[in-house]
Amino acid sequence: MSPPSTTPSPGVVLAVTGATGGAGTSLLAAALADELSTRGPTILLDTHFGGAGLEVLLGMEDSTGVKWPELHDARGALDWTHLETQLPTWRGVHVVTCTRTAPVFPATPTVNTVLASAVAAGRNVVVDAPASIVHNHHHLLTHHLVLAARNVCGVAGAAALAGLPSPGGGRSVVTSPQRPVSMTPQQVARYVRLPLAGEWPHVRGLAEAVEHGATAVDLPRGAHKAARRVVARLTDLVVGQERHEKR
């Protein structure tokens, strides 16, 4: 009998993109990473370079450790077992954030190195990703999740994102009741021709929670519940896609 393999199973890589600005994409990405961390080691990547979205949202401005400025010229395979000891964490999730004090714009090969190394190490990865990241790295993604408001602007933005190269596990849409609301979740999914993965709630008091540092500790209960439902739905969608490809 051959000895058991010590090679970790590849991780799940989920990219989350907002169809329009201000849709709540970063919060959704953080909540999904928090949910996935209950199933295995998980990494949250902020690839909106030049800003500090997740760093501010999660109250990590003063956290120490490796961030994108230290990884901006990474090449070759990264040792995630060692790197994770250097990364800041949020609720047990290892986070690679941008920083407002030292903005950097890593080249495509660097982002590819970070993603590929994490996958090879068996980590789940949630990427708060603009369209350019999905376009350049779709071959490394398991699934692409589009967050769209239930209105004309949301549908237009989601339809544009639906034209990007698709990951192996496909693409789906999560809808949001961002005002004005003029469509049902099912109508949005039908118009953009993407499977519906769930509904993302309007989180009341989020701005105040960020201002007072509450999101550094936890997220609102509604975000946890919605993320749990979305992850369950995504599991069904990815498994269904894999079965379809094997036929």
CA 73 to chain centroid, in Å, comes to 22
Is residue 241 very low, low, confident or very high in pLDDT (cuts 50, 70, 90)?
Answer: low
Selection from 146, 139, 116 nearest residue 234 by Cα: 146
Token pair of 64 as six digits: 């120490």
Three-state secondary structure call for residue 164: coil
Whether 1 is in a domain gets the answer: no
117-131 tens-digit pLDDT = 998 899 999 999 999
3-state helix, strand, coil in the chain (%, to 5): 40, 15, 45
Return d(Cα 245, Cα 169) in angstroms, integer: 10
| Domain extent for 97 | 13-246
CA 226 to chain centroid, in Å, comes to 15
Whether 27 is in a domain gets the answer: yes
Q: Which of 11-15, 156-160, 166-170, 210-214 is predicted most confidently?
A: 156-160
pLDDT at residue 152 greater than cutoff 90: yes
Q: Which residues contact 144 (CB under 8 A, 6 or more apart)?
A: 14, 15, 17, 134, 138, 161, 164, 166, 167, 170, 171, 172
pLDDT at residue 10, as a whole number:
66
Residue 83's alpha-carbon distances to 55, 66, 70, 92, 149, in angstroms, are: 18, 8, 11, 15, 37
61-118 tens-digit pLDDT = 888 899 999 988 887 778 888 899 999 999 999 999 988 888 889 999 999 999 999 9
**Residue 153 one-letter amino acid:** C
Whether 2 is in a domain gets the answer: no
- Assess contact for 87 and 95: CB atoms under 8 A: yes
Whether 6 is in a domain gets the answer: no
- Assess contact for 122 and 9: CB atoms under 8 A: yes
Q: What is the CATH number of the domain that holds 102?
A: 3.40.50.300
- Assess contact for 83 and 66: CB atoms under 8 A: yes
Selection from 239, 12, 29, 13 nearest residue 146 by Cα: 29
Whether 4 is in a domain gets the answer: no
pLDDT (average), residues 156-162: 96
Return d(Cα 31, Cα 25) in angstroms, integer: 10
Whether 8 is in a domain gets the answer: no
Output b/e per residue, 52-77; b: 16+ Cβ within 10 A. Answer: bbbbbbbbbeebebbbbebbeebeee
pLDDT at residue 3, as a whole number:
43
Whether 3 is in a domain gets the answer: no
Is residue 1 very low, low, confident or very high in pLDDT (cuts 50, 70, 90)?
Answer: very low
Three-state secondary structure call for residue 75: coil
Whether 36 is in a domain gets the answer: yes
pLDDT at residue 239, as a whole number:
56
pLDDT at residue 142 greater than cutoff 70: yes
User: DSSP readout, 35-46?
Assistant: HHTTTS-EEEEE
Strand partners, 196: 173
Q: What is the pTM of this model?
A: 0.90
33-65 tens-digit pLDDT = 999 999 889 999 999 987 778 988 898 888 889
> How many domains is the chain built from?
1
